[in-house]
Amino acid sequence: MIVLIIAGIAAIVVVAIAVGIFDAIQAASWREVAAERREKWEERVHELHGGFEAADPDWDDD
């Protein structure tokens, strides 16, 4: 029974390490995708609303 518990914990550790390595490898490409999406979003905001500069200066979150 103890061997089964240790094997289960070891499997969780191995999966966690594998996921961490995979995530580290993919992180740069996800940052590129995020930057491209943000750039497209900023272009759409500028086209639709005239950009962030056109916002009412009196408007505030407070």
pLDDT digits (tens, 9 = 90+) for 10-28: 999 999 999 999 999 999 8
Split into its structural domains, the chain has a count of 1
Residue 26: domain span: 2-51
Rounded to 5°, the CA angle 50-51-57 comes to 95
Residue 48: the pLDDT is: 82
Inter-residue contact 51 to 45 (CB < 8 Å): yes
pLDDT tens digits, one per residue of 43-62: 888 888 775 565 566 666 65
The answer to the question of residue 25 being in a domain is yes
The answer to the question of residue 7 being in a domain is yes
Residue 46: the pLDDT is: 83
The answer to the question of residue 30 being in a domain is yes
pLDDT at 36 > cutoff 90: yes
d(CA 27, CA 14): 20
Mean pLDDT for the stretch of residues 22-49: 91
Mean pLDDT for the stretch of residues 31-47: 91
The answer to the question of residue 14 being in a domain is yes
- How far does Cα 33 stand from its chain's mean position? 10
Using CA atoms, how far residue 13 sits from 8, 16, 28, in Å, is: 9, 5, 24
